[in-house]
Structures are given as C-alpha cells and as structure tokens.
Amino acid sequence: MAEQYEVKISPQAECDLEGVSEWIIDQSGFVRTAFNYVRRIRAFITGLKNFPHRGIKRDDLYSGIRIVGFERRVPIAFTVSDDTVLIARIFYGGCDIEALMADDEGLSG
C-alpha cells in the first residue's frame, strides 16, 4: 500500500471554510446546502493524503505552494512536506488569489 500523508488544515483555511459556508447561506438561504458543500470540500481535502502532488506549483505566490481546484469554484492552496499536506487557504469564486496570498505573512499551521 502506498504511503499516506497526514492532512492538516491551517486556522486560516478553517476560517476560509466558514466564509464559504456563510456566503452560500447568504446567497441561497439554505444551511443544509452550505453544510453539504463544505463537507464535500473537506472530503476532497482528505483525499490529498493519497496523492498530494496535485495541482499547479505556484512558487511565485509562496515558496512550495500548490493550487488545486475543487468543482471549478474553490481554489485550494496547500504545501506538501515529507509526510504532511498543509491546507493553507481555501478561496471561493472570483477572489484575487494573488492579493490574498500576498497579504498572508506566513503559511504555517
């Protein structure tokens, strides 16, 4: 069996997930819809434990950062170390990833 990585979600990424949930509730009025969508994002993130080197390397944003898309709407920024995948940020919709990443002083968990 292939080695699995530990997947950790940074505090900022947890806040990002909360923001995604709130946005969906504001737009649709359905808490269940928001809950299910965030649940699917979390399942996708958990799947990075098996194949973490997905997405596009974006060293221009932050050294070692990778970006992978979820359902065409949610870019997920993460790093991969020897045995850990750290989810740094989770963005939604048409946000300016470059500007938001520039505002992050560090991407540690």
pLDDT exceeds cutoff 90 at 100: no
CATH of the domain at 72: 3.30.2310.20
pLDDT for residue 58 is more than 80:
yes
Distances (CA, A) of 44 to 15, 25, 28, 48, 79: 17, 21, 23, 7, 15
- How many independent structural domains does the chain possess? 1
pLDDT for position 10? 96
Q: What is the pLDDT of residues 10-39, one digit of tens each?
A: 999 999 999 999 999 999 999 999 999 999
Residue 108 falls within a domain, yes or no? no
Across residues 53-77, what is the average pLDDT?
A: 92
| Predicted pLDDT of residue 52 | 93
- Check if the beta carbon of residue 9 is closer than 8 Å to that of residue 77: no
User: Given this model, what pLDDT does residue 95 score?
Assistant: 67
Q: Is residue 68 part of a domain?
A: yes
